[in-house]
Amino acid sequence: MTQSTIVRREKADEAAGLMGKGTPLSSDDLLKLPLFKGISKKLLDDNHGAVVLRHFEKGEVICRQGDYGSTAFFVLSGNCDVFINTPIAGVNTTPQSGFMGLFKKMASALRGGHARTARPTPTHVHIDAPVDLPWGDFRATIGDNSLFGEMTCLNFYPRSATVIAREPVACLEMLRNILDLIYRNEPQAKWRKEKQKFVETNPGKKFDKPRPEDGPIGKTYRERSLRNHLSGFPLFRNVSADFLEHLRASAEIVTFEPGEVIFRQGDPADEFYIVRIGFVKVSQARAGGEMVLQYLSRGQYFGEIALLARAEGKEAKRTATCTAIDHVEAVVINADDFSELISRFPDAQQQLRAEAERRLKTDEDLAKVTQSVGLGDFLDQGLMQAQSLLVLDLDRCTRCDECVRACADSHDGVTRLVRDGLRFDKYLVATSCRSCLDPVCMIGCPVGSIGRSDTREIFIEDWCIGCDLCAQNCPYGNINMHPFEVDTSSKLFQKQSPLRQARVRLDPLPSSLDITLLPEGLSYDDNGGWLNYIGLPNEKNRGKLREYCSDASYQRAIGSLLRQMETRVPLPILPADFKPEKRLSPYIQFDPAQKSLVFLGVITPDDKEEYLNFSSDNQYKQAVEKAAKQSFGRKAVVYKATTCDLCESLKQEPNCVYACPHEAAMRVEPKLFFGAK
């Protein structure tokens, strides 16, 4: 179990209080539901309490993106909105329109074509639910008999999306042991083993024995979601409806346990896989050890290279080993259907061939990197994990920080490199992405927003939900969470309490203020003497901030800081029928001394509707309207992960190196560079 898994599990345990909120169901109740058909009563009795019935009112949050948990949900009745609340801000630079846009385009030409054109915008974002979210809107609806949150339940990954009851919703919340029981399909597992054995002993022949019936989950997925999922992939965009229907019926839904080998390099090939849940490691055996080529997540496919070779009449052998990193579920398409797909639909064939060629070329490039040194040594040393390091020659570096500024200039003012790190003689290995050979940061991203480009750089896409998992996974601390300012009037910025940011000058620093222990969210910047705060101001943490130090100047500064984050409107008296809803109650207060209504967070458009419902009093409603107007458009902050992508779209040297006036910064291949020194 990796350190990151332990952290995830601990966080999931912290969030486990959820189970206490529902009504435990008896085995008799459960067996009445089709989902539990075929599961023995004894097993359900043994796991009593591991599945509870929960009711959610309209507008109530069932789960929130980025939160940790250990349960999955099955909707019994009602519809839910599912969305990722991730304003597109900062991680990638978005082009501007108008005069400034034109100017920026001209500047961009001088910069060497900064706009990211290499990666196409996806049509959908794949999340941990039976629906994919369409690009641009990032929201969808799920109804009864929908299972969601399996990735969180099985692998302890953060929730990939926020789910809110659109109407009164009843659902089952269950722990992993129950989900395992539901997934279990012994006859299919047995049939699959038989099939694999047959293929190994009779290469090229067809296994005729019919597949046993799906289990309840497989059946529901096949009937309700598989077709939508398939049609959501660019690969199947131009595939006819009848063939999709054929695939829906014939595809297998197969689960793999963590560590299970899906196929090995050199095995005969007869299947094509699309990942539905979990992460798959693609690796190759090389002289000296195993080389990780890629991690594949939800929505990505593998196994096409050998099947394409087979379609050309060549030997169909696997070129790499694929292993389940965690609990993996894959949609498996057999070789005959795959052949039909590529022969009938040239577009699909073209896409598959392009992807296969790209992957083979990447493998070849990686092989070149590692061929002249024993792979064992190459992997053992932390630095040698890297394919590219930003190295500063300290004898030349004047510590002017032009490299850091150039990085910030390239990324909306947020630098992705820190001029600090390991030292080797006169060389400083700066804290910036190393594009590791084994990019473990990619494992677990709940929305698949971290990826690796053709040229092997790691990139993080705009729809990052800020769950922090990649930052925890990076062994070198080179992925950072940065607060990005967003406009609260953004259409997507709803239903989630955004963070607020404020700062106040505190200079000189009071001697009794220990800034090494500041409360969560508070930081002190020596340059200018600024006290900064990023967080969700509510009564609890306001108290903590105030109590931290009794110094008068600190108290004044904190008072000013908190006032900056408030929205205050006059209201003579709090109405008698005032009843705040639980979600928003920590963010609304009445100040009797000042006769004013105080809002502690940002009032988003949706929040306003909810605030209005807290009382029927007209004066109160007017005060809310006024506060919403004041709050509207005020800047708020969301955290997103950032990492150095080596300015991959430039196709030239990265900006940090280009902007160094002292020839001190250089991007090097560690093996060649340190090997030669």
User: Which residue, 170 or 394, is less far from another protein as judged by CB?
Assistant: 394
Q: Which is nearer to another protein, 344 or 399 (CB)?
A: 399
Give the tokens for residue 94. Answer: 């978005």
Please provide residue 209's backbone torsions phi and psi, each rounded to the nearest 5 degrees. Answer: -60, 130
CB of 69 vs another protein, minimal distance in Å: 22
Closer residue to another protein, CB minimum distance, 113 or 289: 113
Cα 473 from chain centroid? 12
Q: Which is nearer to another protein, 289 or 382 (CB)?
A: 382
Contact criterion met (CB below 8 Å) for 238 and 212: no
Q: Smallest distance from the beta carbon of 477 to another protein, in angstroms?
A: 10
The residue among 153, 100, 161 whose CA lies nearest residue 129 is 161
Closest separation in Å from C-beta 70 to another protein: 23
- Residue 111 vs 542, nearer CB to another protein: 111
Least distance to another protein, CB of residue 379, Å: 25
Q: Long-range pairs for 606-613 at CB < 8 Å and ≥24 separation? A: 606/494, 606/495, 607/494, 607/495, 610/59, 610/581, 610/583, 610/584, 611/584, 613/581
As measured in angstroms, the least distance from the Cβ of 402 to another protein is 7
| Residue (of 327, 321, 279, 281) closest to 299 by Cα position | 279
The C-alpha atoms of residue 277 and residue 59 are separated, in whole angstroms, by 28
Name the residue nearer to another protein (CB basis): 167 or 395: 395
By beta-carbon proximity to another protein, the closer residue of 112 and 605 is 112
Rounded to a whole number of angstroms, the minimum distance from the CB of residue 523 to another protein is: 10
What b/e sequence results for 484-498 when a residue is b if at least 16 CB atoms lie within 10 Å of its CB, and e otherwise? bebebebebbbbbbb
Strand partners, 125: 133
In degrees, rounded to 5, the angle at the alpha carbon of residue 173 between the alpha carbons of residues 60 and 61 is 15
CB-wise, 259 or 661, nearer to another protein?
661
CA distance to 127, 238, 295, 649, per residue, from 450 (Å) = 13, 27, 10, 16
Q: How far is the CB of 430 from another protein (least distance, A)?
A: 11
Query: Are 463 and 125 spatial neighbours (Cβ–Cβ below 8 Å)?
Result: yes
Contact 338, 369 (CB under 8 A): no
| Of 387 and 472, CB closest to another protein | 472
Minimum distance, C-beta of residue 638 to another protein, in the bound complex (Å): 22
CA distance 657 to 402: 9
- Complex with another protein: residue 8 or 104, whichever CB lies closer: 104
Shortest Cβ distance from residue 427 to another protein (Å)?
Answer: 10
The CA distance from 82 to 131, in Å, is 9
- Count the alpha carbons within 13 Å of 345 in the hemisphere toward its beta carbon: 20
The least distance separating another protein from the CB of residue 498, rounded to whole angstroms, comes to: 24
CB of 517 to another protein, least distance (A): 5
- Give min distance, CB of 386 to another protein, in A: 22
In this structure, the strands spanning 132-134 and 252-256 are unpaired
Which residues have C-beta within 8 Å of that of residue 593, sequence separation ≥ 6? none
* Amino acid symbol at 312: E
Distance CA 95, CA 105 (A): 8
Q: Which is nearer to another protein, 393 or 617 (CB)?
A: 393
Residue whose entry in the numeric block shows the structure tokens 């969210």? 521
The position carrying tokens 């054929």 is 246
Q: Which is nearer to another protein, 372 or 398 (CB)?
A: 398
Q: What is the largest CA-CA distance in the chain?
A: 85
Query: Which positions lie near another protein, rule CB under 8 A?
Result: 107, 110-112, 114, 394-400, 402, 405-406, 409-410, 418-420, 423, 426, 514-517, 526-527, 652, 655, 658-663
8-state DSSP, 323: E
Distance CA 483, CA 205 (A): 57
Nearer to another protein, 94 or 652 (CB): 652
**Cβ 546 to another protein shortest distance, Å:** 17
Assess contact for 65 and 467: CB atoms under 8 A. Answer: yes
Q: Is the dihedral of CA 607, 613, 614, 617 positive or negative?
A: positive
* Local structure of 673: helix, strand or coil: helix
